[in-house]
Amino acid sequence: MTFIPYGRQWIGNDDIEAVAETLKSDFLTTGPKVAEFEEAVAGYCGAKYAVAVCNGTAALHIASLALLKHGDKVLTTPNSFLATSNAILYAGAKPIFVDIQKNGNIDLDLCEKALEKDPSIKALYAVHFSGNPVEQEKLARLKERFGINILEDCAHSIGAEYGGIKAGSCTNSDASIFSFHPVKHMTTGEGGMVTTNDKALYERLKILRNHGMVKTPKMKPWEYEMRELGFNYRITDIQCVLGISQLKKLDGFIQRRKELARAYDEAFAGNPLIRPLYNYNGDSSYHLYVVLTDFGSLKISKEQLFVKMLEKGIGLQLHYIPINRQPFYRRLGYGEEKTPVMDRYYADCFSLPLYPKMTDNEQKYVIKNLQEIVRE
C-alpha cells in the first residue's frame, strides 16, 4: 500500500489538458481565465462578486484591510489555521479568541455575550470548521443586533450549505474567503478567493490585489495611479484554468468525501474509544474527518498513535493547535483565555485521511490499523 496522507489533490487528464492549453495561449497571467474563474466561483456560491488571489492567506489579508480599521477588536476562533487570526493582525486589529462548541466551530452564543459586554467590538471572523457551517441565523442576528462586520472563512467549506445557504454566498456576512491549496476540496496549486455582495468592497479588493494601483479609460495609455499601499497578490491564468476545470468536478469530489465520512461513521459506531467529531451531516462538505479519543483511558499517547500509524504508512493530522497558545501570540499577551471546550477538544482530537481519490480499500486499511492500535 502506498502512503496514505490525510489529504491530497485529484488531478485528471482533463485538468492537465486545460493547463497545457493555457500554457500555449497568449496570457499566463492577468488574462481571461482569471475573470472566468472568478465568475464561476461566484456563480457556484451564489455571491455577486469574486476576486481571485494567489492563496487563501492573501484573500484573508486584503479582505481584512478592506473590512477592518487599525485597533478594531475582532472575535475569532482559536480552532483554525494560523492565517485566520494572523490576517486580523496584518490589518493592525486585535483578535479576541472565543471558545468553541463541541463540533469545533466558534461558539456564537459566547460571541453574542462578548458583544453585549463590549460594544466596541467591530467584527467577527467565523470559520466553518472541517466543512461544517456555523449557524447562519446566529450570524444574521449578530449582524442585525450589533452592526458588526462579518467574514466567513470558507477555506474548509466550499460546497457546504446551511439551511439552503451556500458557504461563500455572503448571505449574512460582508465577505467570505476560500483556499485552493492541494489538501482542500479543489485546487489551483496555491490559490485563494474572496467573495462578496458589496460592489465597493469588490472594487477595493481588486485594487489591493494589484499594488494599490488604478488604471481608468480616461488615463493616457501608459498611465496608472497608485491610490494606496497594495500588493502583488495576483493569481496566474495557469492556476485559474486549473481551478475552472476542478470546479466542474467539485460536487463529485464532495459526494465522495461524504461517502467516505459515512463509512468512517459506520466503522466507529458503538466504539467508545473513537468518536467522530459529529455524526453524519449532509450540510458539511467534509474537508476533514476529525475523531475524538480520550487518551487518558488508553495505554498509548497521541504522539505514539501518530508514530504507529505512520509506521503503517498512514498520515494523521491534528486540526488545530489553539492559535492563542502559540509562542508568538503569547508574546502579544494572549494564551491565558479560558477556553475549556477548545482545551478538551485539542487533547482528544486528530484527523483521519479523507480525500476523494481515496479508495474503499485504503479507507478499510486506515480503519483496521486505527482500531487495532487503539485496542492494544
Ligand X SMILES: Cc1ncc(COP(=O)(O)O)c(C=O)c1O
Give least dist CB 187 to ligand X, A: 10
For ligand X, the closer of residues 76 and 274 by Cβ is 76
Going by C-alpha positions, the residue among 79, 81, 86, 141 that lies closest to residue 108 is 141
| Residue 66 or 83 with smaller CB distance to ligand X | 83
Tell me which residue has cell 484591510.
65
**Contact with ligand X (CB under 6 A): which of 74, 127, 240, 244?**
127
Cis upstream peptide for 320 (omega within 30°):
yes
**Vertex 191, ends 189 and 196: CA angle to 5°?**
155
Name the maximum alpha-carbon separation found in the chain. Answer: 75
Q: Which is nearer to ligand X, 85 or 171 (CB)?
A: 85
**Binder among 131, 133, 192, 276 for ligand X (CB under 6 A):** 192
Does the protein bind ligand X through residue 295 (CB under 6 A)? no
Tell me how far apart the alpha carbons of residues 270 and 206 are, in angstroms, rounded to a whole number. Answer: 51
User: Which one among 6, 15, 34, 57 touches ligand X, defined by CB under 6 A?
Assistant: 57
Among the candidate windows 38-46, 55-63, 227-235, 368-376, which touches ligand X by CB under 6 A? Answer: 55-63
In the numeric block, the cell 475582532 is attached to: 74
The angle subtended at Cα 116 by Cα 114 and Cα 117, nearest 5°, is: 65
Helix (H), strand (E) at residue 358: none
Q: Does 187 bind ligand X (CB under 6 A)?
A: no
Query: Does 80 participate in binding ligand X (rule CB under 6 A)?
Result: yes
Instruction: Annotate each residue in 301-340 with x if it binds ligand X (CB under 6 A) or - if it does not, as one string.
Output: ----------------------------------------
- Taking the complex as a whole, the smallest distance from the CB of residue 153 to ligand X amounts, in Å, to 5
Q: Which residues contact 67 (CB under 8 A, 6 or more apart)?
A: 91, 123, 149, 151, 174, 175, 201
C-alpha cell at 163: 439551511
**Closest distance of CB 207 from ligand X, Å:** 21
Q: In terms of CB distance, is 83 or 352 closer to ligand X?
A: 83
User: Which C-beta is closer to ligand X: that of 169 or that of 179?
Assistant: 179
CB nearer to ligand X: pick between 111 and 373: 111
Q: Given the complex with ligand X, which of 189 and 276 has the nearer CB atom?
A: 189
Among 61, 73, 94, 181, binds ligand X (CB under 6 A): 181
Q: CA–CA separation, 196 vs 6, rounded Å?
A: 31
In the complex, the smallest distance separating the C-beta of residue 144 from ligand X, rounded to whole angstroms, is 26
**Residue 64 in contact with ligand X, rule: CB under 6 A:** no
Instruction: Give yes or no for residue 153 binding ligand X (CB under 6 A).
Output: yes
**Taking CB under 6 A as the rule, does residue 83 contact ligand X?**
yes
Cβ-based nearer residue to ligand X, 22 or 57: 57
Query: How far is CA 267 from each of CA 264, 272, 274, 288, 371, rounded to the nearest angstrom?
Result: 5, 12, 10, 17, 9
Number of residues this chain uses to bind ligand X (CB under 6 A): 15
Q: Tell which residue, 97, 109, 116, 99, has the closest CA to residue 135.
A: 109
Segment interacting with ligand X, rule: CB under 6 A, options 32-40, 79-87, 231-239, 278-286? 79-87
Q: Alpha helix locations (H) across the chain?
A: 13-23, 32-45, 56-67, 83-90, 108-117, 136-146, 199-209, 237-268, 302-311, 327-331, 340-348, 360-375
Question: Which region among 28-36, 56-64, 68-76, 246-254 touches ligand X (by CB under 6 A)?
Answer: 56-64
**DSSP per-residue string spanning 273-300:** TSEESSS--TT---S-EEEE--GGGSSS
List contacts with ligand X (CB under 6 A): 55-57, 60, 80-81, 83-84, 127, 153, 155-156, 179, 181, 192
